[in-house]
Amino acid sequence: MAAQLMVEGVPAVELAERFGTPLYAISETSIRERYRRTLAAVRRVYDPVEVYYAVKSNPILAVRRILAQEGAGGDAFGPGEVETSLRAGVPGEKLVMNGQAKTEEWLELAVKHGITVTLDNPGELELLLEVAGRAGVRAPAFIRLKLSMDEVRLDVAPEGPQIADRVLATVWGFTEDEAKEAVTRALGAPDRLLLRGYHHHIGYFINRPDYHAAAMRDVVGAVARLRDATGFVPEVLDVGGGWAYPSDPESGDEHPHKVAPPEDFAAVQLGALGEAFDAAGLPRPLVIFELGRSLVGESTVLLARVQWVKEQFGRRFVITDAQKHLLLRACIEGYKYRWVRADDLEAPKVGPAELFGPTCTDDELAVSYDFPAVARGDVVAALACGAYAQTFNASLNSMARPAVVLVDGEDAAVVVRRETVDDVLARYELPGRLT
């Protein structure tokens, strides 16, 4: 019998039949296993350390709930992500509020729930002091650092200089000089602010652990200089996310390629971090990761049904019902997903296909993609689209967005219901003069 694409114990074709297409299907076990493996990997090489979940990478309540059950705190940008995390059962003390444009209301929300605020600029520090003062509490906070990344520039070959330049062009964080003043200011207001430490997220630029290690040396260098200037010794260092994972759609390489396992990311990054703290004569702080893509990326497939196949001018067009905006980062950031025929993973490739979605743009899902023979009604699937597809997906031609099912063993349940056309139109209003 042909090897079928399975989502845990359920054939993908059966899910498509039962819930309709397009459909995202998530494996619960994949998320739990990946989280446990990651936590074990970091704990083996560093103490103390926590793995938080960056909910932006997949904001579905059920996904956040699974990771809350596993004990993961989290990062949150704004009230929507805070509310998702709280509803999922994450306590406020295990949340970090990030972002460069937090409003007074966001800061009030953070203070109300004891959420650690990652301060992004000096004005925001003053606003938090005001909000905490009004509430009569001591607000926990990190200072986010924006550094010149000299270690990354020099030690990461050949991409280092380009990455370091790119970091300087990002919006987030305090320069070292700004941080010096902010630390002094924060330490001068101990009744309203508890400065727990620093935050630094360089994120995914490349899929290698040595680059995260170099970033850690940059961070500890800054932390040590700030200690010399202010006397402040952090209890916590939040190092953000950015780990790659096996399918690695973000690299833009649709062919299977080797990516280091989480054990290597943990050993290389935390090894460098621990050594740098020891060399600087600083006590090792609690390290918090805020991982997103590497925890959920592999967990999900997008199922689509072939509508028609057309052979024209030497090209084979495979037209499906899934538009490319369901994998929006493929359009805007060059992510490349792997596509398979769901009922037969070993079906021989018969040459290049142009995989298309149904909308009126150039709805290319994959271009000149070596693909098996398929016919109307077959189910095809994009693999490893658990990270950022939910966050970024959009819909053209007023099409309703897909449902999402969560599979655990043989059990499959809807965790996001399929949109209806009424949902799509729900926020439109006609002013009286147009009725």
Ligand X SMILES: Cc1ncc(COP(=O)(O)O)c(C=O)c1O
Could you list the residues that contact ligand X (CB under 6 A)?
Answer: 54, 57, 75, 98, 201, 203-204, 240-243, 290-294
Give min distance, CB of 247 to ligand X, in A.
Answer: 14
What amino acid is encoded at 239 in this protein?
V
Nearer to ligand X, 240 or 285 (CB): 240
CA distance 50 to 384: 25
Q: At 274, list the tokens.
A: 């621990």
Nearer to ligand X, 56 or 192 (CB): 56
Give min distance, CB of 200 to ligand X, in A.
Answer: 9
Give min distance, CB of 80 to ligand X, in A.
Answer: 15
What amino acid is encoded at 248 in this protein?
D
Nearer to ligand X, 261 or 352 (CB): 261
Nearer to ligand X, 206 or 345 (CB): 206
Whether residue 391 contacts residue 373, with contact meaning beta carbons closer than 8 Å, is answered with no
Q: At 252, list the tokens.
A: 């833009």
Nearer to ligand X, 54 or 163 (CB): 54
Give min distance, CB of 206 to ligand X, in A.
Answer: 12
Tell me phi and psi for residue 328, to 5 degrees. -60, -30
Nearer to ligand X, 189 or 387 (CB): 387
List of residues 6+ apart from 72 with CB closer than 8 A: 35, 51, 52, 53, 90, 94
Tell me phi and psi for residue 53, to 5 degrees. -110, 130
Give min distance, CB of 363 to ligand X, in A.
Answer: 26
Query: Read out DSSP for 110-164?
Result: HHHHTPEEEE-SHHHHHHHHHHHHHHT--EEEEEEB----HHHHHHSTTTHHHHH
Give min distance, CB of 321 to ligand X, in A.
Answer: 28
Query: Read out DSSP for 207-266?
Result: S-HHHHHHHHHHHHHHHHHHHHHH----SEEEEE-----TT-GGGS--S------HHHHH
Give min distance, CB of 297 to ligand X, in A.
Answer: 8
Give min distance, CB of 204 to ligand X, in A.
Answer: 4
Instruction: State whether residue 193 is helix, strand or coil.
Output: strand
List of residues 6+ apart from 215 with CB closer than 8 A: 149, 151, 152, 200, 202
Whether residue 287 contacts residue 269, with contact meaning beta carbons closer than 8 Å, is answered with no
Give min distance, CB of 225 to ligand X, in A.
Answer: 23
Tell me phi and psi for residue 154, to 5 degrees. -85, -35
Nearer to ligand X, 54 or 381 (CB): 54
CA distance 241 to 295: 10
Nearer to ligand X, 171 or 375 (CB): 171
Whether residue 373 contacts residue 350, with contact meaning beta carbons closer than 8 Å, is answered with yes
- Which of 357, 376, 381 is CA-nearest to residue 367? 357
What amino acid is encoded at 304 in this protein?
A
How big is the chain, counted in residues? 435
Nearer to ligand X, 110 or 379 (CB): 110
Nearer to ligand X, 84 or 294 (CB): 294
Give min distance, CB of 106 to ligand X, in A.
Answer: 15
Instruction: State whether residue 298 is helix, strand or coil.
Output: helix
